[in-house]
Amino acid sequence: METGLQITFSIQFAVIGIAHIFRPDPLIQFCRVLAAKGEAGVIIIAILSLCTGSFLVAFHNIWTGIPIVLTVFGWAQLLKGTVYFLFPSSGLRMLERVTPERRILFRLPGIPFAAMSVLLAMHVMRAG
């Protein structure tokens, strides 16, 4: 199960990272749409984060080596989803900061996503 999750999230991190770096505008537009929905838009992010985080926490509890990256990501998503559900105004403030003028701040998270993708892919290839 852990290897399957590592492959799945390696692919997802690659796509998300590349999109953040090279195609941030559609992602920025999506954030603007969610921000326009107010706290209800934040709940969409909360649901996705909570689902992703709880799934990883339940099925990928590895605290050694490279796979720890995925476990920590899962806990971070669980925390983010919880905070956004309980305090949606904090999530809304984050969404409102996303603007085309701040595109560079949206590109920067693509780098750790791409790095996590490479790390997980290398780990899976070495283990398999």
Q: Would you state the pLDDT for residue 21?
A: 97
Cα 61 from chain centre: 18
Q: List the chain domain ranges.
A: 2-122
pTM: 0.92
Q: Are 113 and 13 in contact (CB under 8 A)?
A: yes
List the one residue out of 52, 50, 35, 57 whose CA is nearest residue 85. 50
Q: Would you state the pLDDT for residue 81?
A: 98
Written as six digits, the tokens of 108 are 């920067």
Q: Are 121 and 35 in contact (CB under 8 A)?
A: no
DSSP letter assigned to residue 65: S
Mean pLDDT by 10 residues, the chain (128 residues): 93 97 96 97 98 97 95 98 98 94 92 97 91
Q: Which residues, in sequence order, are CB contacts of 22 under 8 Å at separation 6+? A: 110
Q: Would you state the pLDDT for residue 127?
A: 86
